[in-house]
Amino acid sequence: MKHVKTLNTRDYKKSLVTGGCGECQTSCQSACKTSCTVGNQSCENKNK
Amino acid sequence: MIHLYKNNGYNIVMDVNSGAVHVVDDIVYDLIPLMEDDLDVSIDVLKEKTGGKYSDEDIAEAASEIKELAENGSLYTKDTYEPYVDKFTDQKVKTPVVKAMCLHIAHDCNLRCAYCFAEEGEYHGRRALMSYEVGKQALDYLIAHSGNRVNLEVDFFGGEPTMNFDVVKQLVAYGRSKEKEHNKKFRFTLTTNGVLLNDDILEFANKEMGNLVLSIDGRKEIQDKMRPTANKNVSSYDIIVPKFQKAAESRNQTNYYVRGTYTHYNTDFAEDVLHLHDLGFEQISVEPVVCDPKEPYALTEEDVPKLLEQYDYLAKEIIKRRKEGRFINFFHFMIDLEGGPCIAKRLSGCGSGSEYISVTPWGDIYPCHQFVGEEDFLLGNVYEGIKRTDIVEKFTRCNVYSKPECKECFAKFYCSGGCAANSWHSTGDINGNYKLGCDLQRKRIECAIMIKAALAEAAEEAEEKDA
């Protein structure tokens, strides 16, 4: 495309099918302890 | 639902419900809102609504690209997830799983931090150290209630956990001894103020702790004002900085964070972040204080414009440093666009009070560390289990769709409705919205995505140069 550059992202809709295993990190455990940041967590599902 | 914004010279379009992010030129940026309700709107109408500043040819070309994005499901995507929330949460209420635990190893502390939600370690209660027996029972509780989850997280927290480090060591050994038998893998984390950090603790932490959180607020004057020692003549900054530098290097600058809190007293907090980077730390988290609005150090609505500017300034500085080859990772600008969480995780939020619980030195269970000592939130204890399943259900059902203001917010799938404790502190309801926190969160997400766009562009330019 000439006018648009799309960053590589995970398609949420597709993740409805493959997601939900629950093995990912709990948001607060990593560093914050005072705020919720889910978008920075990494998915741990190898079959995604 | 779309969100468009300009930041640092980039025009960014977020397609909120698919997660797609586009960096676009001016014409597409102007046309996208105009085509949301009708993809086939005529060129004449688009030309008129953009004040005649683009040619028919350019409009046709840009509109065709917009149409293509919409057709491939990365623009104007509808929110179709709400029906799934009930499905997820009903299942979680029916068969609750705990996978993360904050162990309050010591309700005591050797610093006197002004803003400490643990009230110098006491948490509205008494000074106490967790015994090995209570800790062991807590780990047994976690194993027994973790269903088929393999990865279990345990944070050794306080107060200051190094004041009871022998118990930390014993509990790590106990946890490890149970991994094989139960097919579990413990990920331990230690959060410390550094005062007692020594080679022995560091060696142990490097062997056993998946993450090490080192508490420091930034510049010396900020650290010593907000995180004083009991002896006013002794600087905590001077004590901890060399230890933290050694710790960061010994972990090869990974799997740790220096973690600070900013308050009304340092609304120029970006300087603290950059100071920490200048000290040699590459993994940095500096976060807004959460406290009673009556406290003199509480952030105010009047602080917000400056705080937003600080995030913009920090984002630009991070890009500059990264381009110079000086790596810096700021926790609140981390965003994993490609490998981030599935929608189920984004709909469930942080998991406090359901997947994540906190345990006091005497074994009481609370929804998370922020609620410890708030008796209305006492869930049970590690010996008798959770009695207040009504509170657990309320936390389990707390998500972006249970908060009316979140539904219309572009940030909803990044923050997942935010922190229940923040909401409760500011509104008296875990389903409320902490407005100041939301303003800052939205800015951080915008900055984080802009940084991705800038670094992607820089990588592309470097590739072209090499070619």
pLDDT digits (tens, 9 = 90+) for B147-191: 999 999 999 998 899 999 999 999 999 999 999 999 999 999 999
**This prediction's pTM:** 0.93
Query: Helix/strand/coil (H, E, C) string of chain B?
Result: CEEEEEECCEEEEEECCCCEEEEECHHHHHHHHHCCCCCCCCHHHHHHHCCCCCCHHHHHHHHHHHHHHHHCCCCCCCCCCHHHHHHHHHHHHHCCCCCEEEEECEECCCECCCCCCCCCCCCCCCCEECCHHHHHHHHHHHHHCCCCCCEEEEEEECCCHHHHHHHHHHHHHHHHHHHHHHCCEEEEEEEECCCCCCHHHHHHHHHHEEEEEEECCCCHHHHHHHCCECCCCCCHHHHHHHHHHHHHHHCCCCCEEEEEEECHHHCCCHHHHHHHHHCCCCEEEEEECCCCCCCCCCCCHHHHHHHHHHHHHHHHHHHHHHHCCCCCEEHHHCCCCCCCCCHHHHHHCCCECCCEEEECCCCEEECCHHHCCCHHHCCEECCCEECCHHHHHHHHCCCCCCCHHHHCCCCHHHHCCCCHHHHHHHHCCCCCCCHHHHHHHHHHHHHHHHHHHHHHHHHHHHHHHHC
DSSP code at position A35: S
Q: Report CA-CA distances (Å) from B150 to A16, B18, B139, B402.
A: 21, 29, 14, 29
Minimum-distance CB partner of A28 among B20, B288, B352: B352
Please indicate whether, in this complex, the C-beta atoms of B414 and A39 are within 8 angstroms of each other: yes
Please indicate whether, in this complex, the C-beta atoms of A41 and B77 are within 8 angstroms of each other: no
pLDDT of B467 above 90: no
pLDDT-based confidence at residue B118 (cuts at 50, 70, 90): low
pLDDT of B136 above 90: yes
Mean pLDDT of chain A: 77
Contacts of B20 in chain A (CB under 8 A): 6, 9, 11
pLDDT of B368 above 70: yes
Q: How many angstroms separate the CA of residue A46 from the nearest CA in chain B?
A: 11
In chain B, the residue whose alpha carbon lies closest to the alpha carbon of A26 is B350
Q: Is B25 part of the contact surface with chain A (CB cutoff 8 Å)?
A: yes
The per-residue pLDDT for B123 is 66
Minimum-distance CB partner of B19 among A10, A29, A45: A10
Please indicate whether, in this complex, the C-beta atoms of B343 and A7 are within 8 angstroms of each other: no
The per-residue pLDDT for B7 is 98
Mutate to test the interface with A, among B148, B345, B395, B412 (most CBs of A within 10 A): B345
**Are B130 and B105 contacting, i.e. CB atoms less than 8 angstroms apart?**
yes
Q: How many angstroms separate the CA of residue A45 from the nearest CA in chain B?
A: 9
Q: Is B113 part of the contact surface with chain A (CB cutoff 8 Å)?
A: no
pLDDT of B459 above 70: yes
pLDDT-based confidence at residue B298 (cuts at 50, 70, 90): very high
The predicted model gives B429-445 an average pLDDT of: 93
How many beta-carbon pairs under 8 angstroms link A with B? Answer: 226
Find the range with the poorest average confidence among B117-126, B158-167, B231-240, B340-349. B117-126
Please indicate whether, in this complex, the C-beta atoms of B356 and A1 are within 8 angstroms of each other: no
pLDDT of A26 above 80: no
pLDDT of B209 above 80: yes
User: Could you read off the pLDDT of B330-343 as tens digits, one per residue?
Assistant: 999 998 888 888 88
Tokens of B187: 């990920």
Q: How many angstroms separate the CA of residue A41 from the nearest CA in chain B?
A: 6
The per-residue pLDDT for B240 is 98
Q: How far is CA B197 from the centre of its chain?
A: 25
Find the range with the poorest average confidence among A7-11, B171-175, B261-265, B317-321. A7-11
**Are A20 and B342 contacting, i.e. CB atoms less than 8 angstroms apart?**
yes
Q: How many angstroms separate the CA of residue B153 from the nearest CA in chain A?
A: 8
User: Could you read off the pLDDT of B8-64 as tens digits, one per residue?
Assistant: 999 999 999 999 999 999 999 999 999 999 999 999 999 999 999 999 999 999 999
Please indicate whether, in this complex, the C-beta atoms of A31 and B417 are within 8 angstroms of each other: no
In chain A, the residue whose alpha carbon lies closest to the alpha carbon of B259 is A31
**Are B196 and B243 contacting, i.e. CB atoms less than 8 angstroms apart?**
no
The per-residue pLDDT for A32 is 66
**How buried is residue B422: exposed, middle or buried, by Cβ count under 10 Å (0-12/13-18/19+)?**
buried
pLDDT-based confidence at residue A22 (cuts at 50, 70, 90): confident
DSSP code at position A38: -
Q: How many angstroms separate the CA of residue B352 from the nearest CA in chain A?
A: 8
Please indicate whether, in this complex, the C-beta atoms of A11 and B259 are within 8 angstroms of each other: no
Q: Is B346 part of the contact surface with chain A (CB cutoff 8 Å)?
A: yes
Contacts of A15 in chain B (CB under 8 A): 341-344
**Are A25 and A42 contacting, i.e. CB atoms less than 8 angstroms apart?**
yes
Please indicate whether, in this complex, the C-beta atoms of B356 and A10 are within 8 angstroms of each other: no
pLDDT-based confidence at residue A34 (cuts at 50, 70, 90): low
pLDDT-based confidence at residue B252 (cuts at 50, 70, 90): very high
Residue B415 or B106, more confident: B106
Question: How far apart, in whole angstroms, are the C-alpha atoms of residue B79 and residue B81?
Answer: 6
Question: How far apart, in whole angstroms, are the C-alpha atoms of residue A29 and residue B152?
Answer: 11
ipTM: 0.88
**How buried is residue B112: exposed, middle or buried, by Cβ count under 10 Å (0-12/13-18/19+)?**
middle
The per-residue pLDDT for A36 is 62
Q: Is B84 part of the contact surface with chain A (CB cutoff 8 Å)?
A: yes
Question: How far apart, in whole angstroms, are the C-alpha atoms of residue B21 and residue A6?
Answer: 6
User: Could you read off the pLDDT of B262-286 as tens digits, one per residue?
Assistant: 999 999 999 999 999 999 999 999 9
Please indicate whether, in this complex, the C-beta atoms of A2 and B414 are within 8 angstroms of each other: no
Question: How far apart, in whole angstroms, are the C-alpha atoms of residue B398 and residue B416?
Answer: 10
Contacts of B285 in chain A (CB under 8 A): 31-32
pLDDT of B122 above 90: no
Mean pLDDT of chain B: 93
Please indicate whether, in this complex, the C-beta atoms of A30 and B339 are within 8 angstroms of each other: no
Please indicate whether, in this complex, the C-beta atoms of A6 and B332 are within 8 angstroms of each other: no
The predicted model gives B317-326 an average pLDDT of: 96
Tally of residues, chain B:
467
**Are B163 and B128 contacting, i.e. CB atoms less than 8 angstroms apart?**
no
pLDDT of B294 above 70: yes
The per-residue pLDDT for B349 is 80
Q: Report CA-CA distances (Å) from B137 to B107, B140, B308.
A: 18, 5, 45
Tell me, what amino acid is at B297?
A: Y
Please indicate whether, in this complex, the C-beta atoms of A16 and B344 are within 8 angstroms of each other: yes
Question: How far apart, in whole angstroms, are the C-alpha atoms of residue B134 and residue B200?
Answer: 24
Of A39, A37, A8, A35, nearest to B287 by C-alpha is A35
The per-residue pLDDT for B311 is 98
Contacts of B21 in chain A (CB under 8 A): 6-7, 9
Question: How far apart, in whole angstroms, are the C-alpha atoms of residue B444 and residue B421?
Answer: 20
Please indicate whether, in this complex, the C-beta atoms of B342 and A19 are within 8 angstroms of each other: yes
The per-residue pLDDT for A48 is 60
Of B65, B56, B53, nearest to B22 by C-alpha is B65
Contacts of B351 in chain A (CB under 8 A): 26-28
Contacts of A13 in chain B (CB under 8 A): 18, 73, 77, 80, 343
